[in-house]
Structure 1
Amino acid sequence: MRIGVLTGGGDVPGLNPCIKMLVARANEEGFEVVGIRRGWAGLLEYNLDDPDTHPRCILPLDKFNTRTVDRTGGTFLHTSRTNPGKVSLGRVPDFLKPTITPDQEGPFDFTPHVLKVIEKLGIDILIPIGGDDTLSYGERMHQEGVACVAIPKTMDNDIFGTDYCIGFSTAVTRSVEFIHQLRTSAGSHERIAIVELFGRNSGETSLLASYLAGVDRALISEVPFDPVRVAEKVMADKRGNPSNYAMITVSEGAHMVGGTPVEFGEADAYGHKKLGGIGHILGEALKKLTGEDVLNQQVSYLMRSGAPDSLDLMVAVNFANVAINVIRGGERNRLVALRNGTYTSVPMSTLTQGLKRVDVAELYDKDNYRPKVRHVEGKPMFLY
C-alpha cells in the first residue's frame, strides 16, 4: 500500500503533527508514504518525462525526515491554492503548454495528466488535508477512480460534516491574545480599536474570539452592518468604559449594508480573490461619524502562524490516527470528522451537502452587533 499525502490552501498550525502521525501509523501498518509538495501543484507540475522535476514535486516520507516536524507550525510539504481541474493560462506548466491550442484561453482541465502521475507514482490512496476547495478536488479524484481519505483543516472551521477542523482553536487563541494585548494601546490613547480577523464566509472565528475576549462589538461575515448604528453603539461603549476606549472585531468577509466584501487581486483557481481592508474602511467611517481617533489592527496571518495549541495538536494527531484506521479497515472516499464530540468519518460527498455558518439566531445579536450566547447545553464545544 502506498499513500500520498498533501496539504492545500492556507496553512494552519497542526499540519506538521498530522503528517508526522500519518507517517508513523502508516509505517506501523506496513504502508509506504509519499509526500506531495505544494498541494495539488505537486501532481500538476510533475513532468513524467523530466526526472529533474520530481524532487520538487514529491518527497518520500519516513520516521527520520518527519521526526521533528511536529515542533513547528505550517506545513513542511508547502502548500498552494492549485486546482488541476481549472488552471489559468498563465499557470500552465511549460511542459503541458504543447497540449493546448493557441486559440484556447482557459481555464484548462489537466486531471488526465494528474491521473497519469498518480499511476506512475503507484499511489493507492490519497490523503488530502485541506478546506472545502482542496477537498473538493479530492472528491473529483474519487470520481475519477482514485481512492481518497480526507482530513479537514481550516481556521474558519466552516467545513460541512465535521464539528471541528485543524487550525481553528489556535486561531481563536491567537485572536483573544492579540485583542487583550491591544487593549493597552487602546486604553492609553482612549481610542476606538478595530481588530480585523480572518473569516471569508464564516464569522465563527471572529464571533468566538470576541465572545471570549469580551469585546464591545463584533461584526461577522453573515450579517451586513450599518456604520451609523455601529458608531452609535461603540460611542456608548466608550463612554461607559472607565478607561474611555472601545473594542470592535470584524471578519475580513464582513461588509456594510448594501455593499460587498472588500476583495482585491486576481481570483485563485477556486474563484476567490484576496480579502482584507474592511477594518480600515470601517475605521475611516467611524472617524467621520464620531470625530474619534481609531486604532486599526489587522491580525491576519499571525492568527495562523506558529505552533499549534494543545487542542489543535491533539485533534491533528487523532485525525491522522482515524485516517489510517479508515484505510486499514478498507473504507474509501471518507472525510475524517469530529461529530458530537466523537472522532468518526463520513462520506466525502458530505462536503457539498450544506454550508456551515454562524447560527445567527442562536448566537448573535444582529441589532447590537455582538455575541449573544445564552444556551450552550447540547451544543458542540466550539458552538456554531
Structure 2
Amino acid sequence: MKSVVMSALENDYRVIGIRRGWAGLLHYNLDEHSTHDYYVKDLSLHDVHRIDRTGGTFLHTSRTNPQRVKPQDVPDFLKNSAYGKAIDDKGTMDYTDYIMKVLSHLGIDILVTIGGDDTLSYSVRLHKEGFPVVAIPKTMDNDVFGTDYCIGFSTAITRSVDFITNMRTSVGSHERIGVVELFGRNAGETSLIAGYLAYVDRVLIPEVPFNMERLAGYIMEDKRNNPSNYAILTISEGAIMEAGSIIESGEEDAYGHRKLGGIGEVVAEEIKRLTGQGIMYQQLGYLMRSGAPDSLDRMVAMSFGHLAIQLIQRNDFGKLTALHGGKYTTVPVEMVLSGKKVVDVKSFYDISTYKPFIKDFLGVPMFLS
C-alpha cells in the first residue's frame, strides 16, 4: 500500500483508500454522508510513510463478497432495493450493480486490489464488468493461482520457524511430542516449508491424507532416535486422516468457507492414545501472520506496488502482479480462478514417510512452489 500510494502521488494521481475493502463499498450509503467519512479516506504520504514498520492494514479488512451477500448481511438501506439480484432460493443477493454505482459516485477510475484468491475473485468480477482493475496477491498461504509468491508468505514462515525453534525448549525439557498446527486450508506450503526449515520430524499437509497409526509409529521412532528424547511435527489446519474429513466449524462465510482448525488437537490426542506419550499441542493460528514484515516481504510488496502503478500508467488493466521464476511479471487477473495452487507432492514430499523430500534441486523454485 505504501509503494502504491507513494508511486501514484509522484505521478499526479489522487489516491483513495476504502476502509474494510469490499465491505466499505457495499455499506457506503449514497444518501448518508457519514458513511463517506467512515469508509472513504484520501491517502497522503503522511498516512503511509510509517505503515511498513508494522503488519496489518490501517484501512482494515473484511470477509465480504458483494456478489454473494447473505440476507442477514445486507445493509438496511439496500434491503428491498432494485440493486440486488437474487442468486439462489436462500435470499443470497448479488450487489455488483450497487458497487459499480458507488465507484462512479466516488469518481474512482481504477481499483488496486490487494488480497488472496477470495478477495481477488471479486476483482475478476469487476474486470468482467468493464471496470479497470490491477490486482496484487497477498496471502500467507501463498496459494493464489498465477504467481509463485504472495505477499506475507515469507513472514509467516519466518514466524513459524521461530515459534517451532523456541518450542523445542519445553518439548525437549519434558521429553514430549510436539504438535504444531499451522494455517493452510487447501495448500500445505506453510506446513511443508516451515517444517522443512525448522527440521521437524514429520510434516502433514492437506494434499496427502495420513494414516494415524503409521504416523504414531514414525513419531515414536523419531523420539527414540533423538538424544534429547522428543519429537515435533507440523500439520496444516486443512490436513485430513485417511478416510476422514476436514475439521470445520461455524457457518460458511461469504466465500463459502467454514472456519478451519482443530485437526492438530485431534492428532495430538490420538498420538497420546496410541503411544501413551505426553503431548504439547500448539495452534499458532494468527500469530503466524502478525507483526512486522520481514525483508523479503518488504521487497516483494514494494515491487508489486510500484509495478501496479506502472501498469496503470500504461493503461494495462485486468492484470495480476506476479513472480515467475524469480522475475516480476503480470498475468491476466482471471488466472486466480483458473485453478488451485497446491504443493507439488511428487517433487517435494514423501507420501510414505510424511517428510519434505526434494528429489533434485536443479531447477527447483526458490519456495518449492
Shorter-chain TM-score range? over 0.9
| 1:353 paired to 2:338 | yes
| CA distance in structure 2 between the aligned counterparts of 1:105 and 1:290, rounded to whole angstroms | 48
Aligned counterpart for 1:52 among listed residues 34, 37, 42:
34
| CA distance in structure 2 between the aligned counterparts of 1:341 and 1:179, rounded to whole angstroms | 28
Three-state SS of the structure 2 residue aligned to 1:134 is helix
| CA distance in structure 1 between the aligned counterparts of 2:350 and 2:190, rounded to whole angstroms | 16
Q: Deviations over 1:243-280 (max 9, x none)?
A: 10000100000011111111001110000011110010
| CA distance in structure 1 between the aligned counterparts of 2:123 and 2:4, rounded to whole angstroms | 18
| CA distance in structure 2 between the aligned counterparts of 1:377 and 1:77, rounded to whole angstroms | 42
Determine the structure 2 residue equivalent to 1:7.
Answer: none
Determine the structure 2 residue equivalent to 1:61.
Answer: 43
| 1:339 paired to 2:321 | no
| 1:91 paired to 2:76 | no
Q: Map residues 166-205 of structure 1 onto 2, 5 A cutoff.
A: 166-205=151-190
Determine the structure 2 residue equivalent to 1:15.
Answer: none
Would you say how many aligned residue pairs link Structure 1 and Structure 2? 366
Aligned counterpart for 2:119 among listed residues 120, 134, 139:
134
Q: Does the 8 Å contact 1:376/1:383 carry over to 2?
A: no
Three-state SS of the structure 1 residue aligned to 2:320 is strand
**One-letter code of the match for 1:136?**
S
| CA distance in structure 1 between the aligned counterparts of 2:307 and 2:85, rounded to whole angstroms | 45
Aligned counterpart for 1:378 among listed residues 350, 356, 363:
363
Three-state SS of the structure 2 residue aligned to 1:256 is coil
**TM (normalized to structure 1)?**
0.93
Shift of 1:104: 6.8
| CA distance in structure 1 between the aligned counterparts of 2:249 and 2:202, rounded to whole angstroms | 26
User: What is the root-mean-square deviation of aligned Cα atoms in Å?
Assistant: 1.4
**More off after superposition, 348-357 vs 269-278:** 348-357
| CA distance in structure 1 between the aligned counterparts of 2:155 and 2:361, rounded to whole angstroms | 21
Q: Deviations over 1:15-41 (max 9, x none)?
A: xxxx11111100111111100111100
| CA distance in structure 2 between the aligned counterparts of 1:204 and 1:182, rounded to whole angstroms | 21
| CA distance in structure 2 between the aligned counterparts of 1:301 and 1:337, rounded to whole angstroms | 25
| CA distance in structure 2 between the aligned counterparts of 1:108 and 1:57, rounded to whole angstroms | 22
| CA distance in structure 2 between the aligned counterparts of 1:206 and 1:177, rounded to whole angstroms | 13
Shift of 1:56: 1.6
Aligned counterpart for 1:251 among listed residues 221, 225, 236:
236
Q: Does the 8 Å contact 2:321/2:329 carry over to 1?
A: yes
| 1:239 paired to 2:224 | yes
Shift of 1:71: 1.4
Q: Deviations over 1:319-350 (max 9, x none)?
A: 00100011111201000001111111111112
Aligned counterpart for 2:267 among listed residues 282, 304, 313:
282
| CA distance in structure 2 between the aligned counterparts of 1:335 and 1:341, rounded to whole angstroms | 16
| CA distance in structure 2 between the aligned counterparts of 1:68 and 1:327, rounded to whole angstroms | 24
Q: Map residues 291-302 of structure 1 onto 2, 5 A cutoff.
A: 291-302=276-287
| CA distance in structure 2 between the aligned counterparts of 1:322 and 1:298, rounded to whole angstroms | 36
Q: Does the 8 Å contact 2:322/2:331 carry over to 1?
A: yes
Q: Does the 8 Å contact 2:142/2:149 carry over to 1?
A: yes
**One-letter code of the match for 1:67?**
H
Q: Deviations over 1:344-371 (max 9, x none)?
A: 1111112222221101011001111110
Q: Which runs of 4+ in 1 moved over 6 A?
A: 100-104
Determine the structure 2 residue equivalent to 1:72.
Answer: 54
Determine the structure 2 residue equivalent to 1:40.
Answer: 22
**One-letter code of the match for 1:358?**
V
**TM (normalized to structure 2)?**
0.97
| CA distance in structure 2 between the aligned counterparts of 1:137 and 1:309, rounded to whole angstroms | 28
